[in-house]
A and B are shown apart, each in its own frame.
Chain A
Amino acid sequence: MSTKKKWLVHLALLLAAVFYVGPLLWMVDTSLKGEHQAMAMPPVWVPHPVRIHKTYYKVVHSPAFDLTLYARNTLIIAILAAAGSVLSSSLVAYSLAKIRWHGRGVLLSVMLASMMIPFPVLMIPLFCVFRNLGWIGTSLPLWAPAFFGVPFFIFLLRQFYLTIPRELSEAAFLDGCSHFGIWWRIMLPLTRPALAVVALFAFVASWNNFLGPLVYLTHQSTFTLSVALQFYQSRSGGTSYNLLMAASTLVILPIVVLFFLAQRTFVRGIATTGLK
């Protein structure tokens, strides 16, 4: 690549970088200012003095935005959703990839078809289902279904299982190993990377979910961060921008940290999903 070309690429990517990271920087910048400084025109670029005690402290201690409670709610739901997805999806994927039984093909097609159905189609009737189960008012609707298998993850893991050589499981079978034994002793260890991807995706999807909690959570004490942030923004009378930006920063931060901890898993996971 010629040097000139390289500079062009750099220029294009720098522009893109401003678009992608600029808003996040401005968010943090605004969150460190006082109310008047945040709304000043022309804008104040460097907050002086830094107002952490006026913004972050105020957000965390706001009676309208019980951050620790919402963070705990979100964390519990996300962990349970991730655990449920990993457990059930790997079981079902094993059945679909490695066991021969009547109805397997039908189930696979049903699953593939159900991946085409977006959530808004089902959200209203699902509310009635959850109501009849007595789940309204709890956070069950947000994580319990994950324990019944998530089509996308089942499909992902099935593709993974298919690549595991037949001889491995055959040998184990001839040694007297049961299906459960094969799944537990051979498949799970071999598919750890894929399971990590599933856990991570399920966690992030659950953490960022907005429509689900908005529809199914009726008690403010069960709210998740996304819904709480929206209510914080739209509460009657409005919220000043510096507080909103501080709240947004706090909502985003855990996901960013998670990303840097598990960067490789993220990228590989996304890369594999597209290649199927």
Chain B
Amino acid sequence: MARLHTAFSIWLSRITAICVVAGGVALLVFGDKPTIHQLPNGQVVHNRVVVSYWENWTDFEGRAMMHVVNAFNMSQNRIYINTVQVSDLDIKALIAVAGHDPPDIVTLWSRDMGEYVANRALTPLDVLEKQGVVSRRTFVPYVWRLCKPFHHLYALGATPETCALYWNKNLFIKAGLNPDQPPQTIAQLDSMARRLTLFNSSGGIRQIGFLPTIPDWSGWEIMWGIYFGNHLFNRRTGGYQINTPQQRAAYRWYQSFTRRYGRANLEKFQGGFGPFNSPLNPFMSQRVAMEIQGPYFANFINQNAPDMKGRYGVAPFPTSFGRPGAAVFGDCDVWAIPRGARHVKAALTVLKFFIKQKNIEYLCDKQCKPSPLMKVSRAFIRRNPNPFIKLFEKVTKSPNVQLAPMDILWSRVYSELHSCVQHIWAGHSVGRSLARAQRVVDRWQVNLAMLNARQRGERP
């Protein structure tokens, strides 16, 4: 060891060490710019209640929300909304609530609502209903179901996202199909997809008609059952319906794509896709002819592939059991106040402002989405840059919209189903995979019931 003493170049003396420590502390204490809240006009905010608001929209969607936030900040002088863009918001916000450090307002997805509500991570908003600010008639039916799941109001609808079929008319014409006639049934979808699929000389896929794993946002795949007539969650019995004939049909169909094209071939094809929000998006770069997507997709097409305007169509997605639109997968962004939020009163004031028809319509307009409100102004329909806004308005108000289950176990069931679907995609038996997932979920429900019983028994 003594050898090492001499071998080392001495570059850190006590003095430098102290300097480093002092520098670090100084950086921490003085380097931290004091947060100055500024209004859009540059005026510095004094003596206002600062409401922290976490949201996860980015780019032009985020800018639309910022416009509404700025409008609020300018409209009065008591409250200031401090917007923070947070990625992976659903998890971060839940942990922040658990860590006793929540924001005052969050944007959530509908699929998180069940877990948040059951874990009592949200502040009930019943007071808004009592004051008559909102009622059953304010929001479209499925959004209201989402906001008031268990006899209490927990959230307010922001922007609905109901899915529909997008198809590329150019590719339809090239394949000799009628560009104005989208598939009416799943069987038609399949046969058209086959004609729209092209291969390159080495046997790889060049263009695909339709693929149930596009878009590759995890979560879509587990909802395919609803287009085959399944209801994942039985609200009456509170049980999950994973291994039903409809589900098996859905996932046999899902798996059939890997057999038709080869799994490796499909993965290779999908690996080459560019990012969603870029001209290299597979739909915009003419590599995918038909795709299931939400209303906002029109916005991204307008931004990234303006020459596609008028060259694509949108229609309700076909179902295996009825006409297109007999079942619709719906999602919705909502605003909520986490439990333990420090400025609940101010947050309520902000929410009241957000859901004013004018503001909601501005937001949904800029995001190319339909309105979550029952009352829709004519100007909104006329102005909305989504060329298919009327269709989406209709779909959103239809009674066939299915939400992710509102259940405490949903996030676990979700990840179980997600791996179950991956298992099926990898080529394993559909029946056995679904049966196993069903068994697993059933056992969780039994355990949960036991736990609830014990909890009730222990409490006087």
Contacts and interface: CB of A to CB of B under 8 A. Distances in A.
Interface of A: 35-36, 39, 41, 63-64, 72, 75-76, 79-80, 82-83, 86-87, 127, 130-131, 134, 136-137, 159-160, 163, 188-190, 192-193, 195-196, 199, 218-221, 231, 234-240, 262, 264-265, 268, 272
B17 A199 contact: yes
A82 B20 contact: yes
B245 interface: no
Contact of A79 (B4, B20, B96): B20
B11 A220 contact: no
A137 B87 contact: no
Which has the most chain B C-beta neighbours within 10 Å: A189, A192, A221?
A192
Given A35-B280, A80-B24, A240-B280, A189 B86 contact: no
A195 B18 CA distance: 12
B9 interface: yes
B194 interface: no
A39 B24 contact: no
A237 B8 contact: no
B276 interface: yes
16 contacts: A63-B58, A76-B31, A79-B24, A80-B24, A87-B21, A127-B99, A131-B98, A131-B100, A159-B1, A160-B1, A231-B88, A234-B87, A236-B56, A236-B58, A237-B58, A237-B275
Given A79-B24, A82-B20, A236-B276, 4 more contacts: A72-B31, A75-B27, A131-B100, A199-B17
Given A220-B86, A220-B87, A131 B31 contact: no
Nearest to B7: A268
Contact of A189 (B14, B92, B276): B14
Contacts of A188: 14
Contact of A238 (B14, B27, B28, B275): B275
- Where chain A touches its partner, the secondary structure class is helix
Contacts, number: 124
Nearest to B94: A218
Contact of B12 (A79, A136, A196): A196
Contacts of B25: 80
Contact of B274 (A159, A196, A240): A240
Contact of A86 (B2, B17, B280): B17
A218 B85 contact: no
A190 B5 CA distance: 8
A239 B33 CA distance: 30
A34 to B, nearest CB: 11
Contacts of B21: 83, 87
Contacts of A39: 272, 274, 280
Interface string B1-43: 1101101111111100100110111011001000000000000
B31 to A, nearest CB: 7
B96 A136 contact: yes
A235 B92 CA distance: 14
Contacts of A262: 11
A63 B5 CA distance: 48
Given A72-B31, A137-B101, A272 B4 contact: yes
Interface of B: 1-2, 4-5, 7-14, 17, 20-21, 23-25, 27-28, 31, 56, 58-59, 62, 84-88, 92, 95-96, 98-101, 217, 272, 274-278, 280
A79 B23 contact: yes
A35 B31 contact: no
B60 to A, nearest CB: 11
Given A76-B31, A235-B87, A131 B99 contact: yes
Contacts of A36: 280
Task: Output the residue of B12, B28, B85, B86 with the most chain A CB within 10 A.
Answer: B12
A265 B101 CA distance: 41
Contacts of B27: 72, 75-76, 79
Given A160-B1, A218-B99, A235-B58, A83 B88 contact: no
Q: Find the residue from A220, A221, A262 having the highest chain B CB count within 10 A.
A: A220
Given A63-B58, A76-B27, A83-B21, A163 B96 contact: no
A136 B340 CA distance: 14
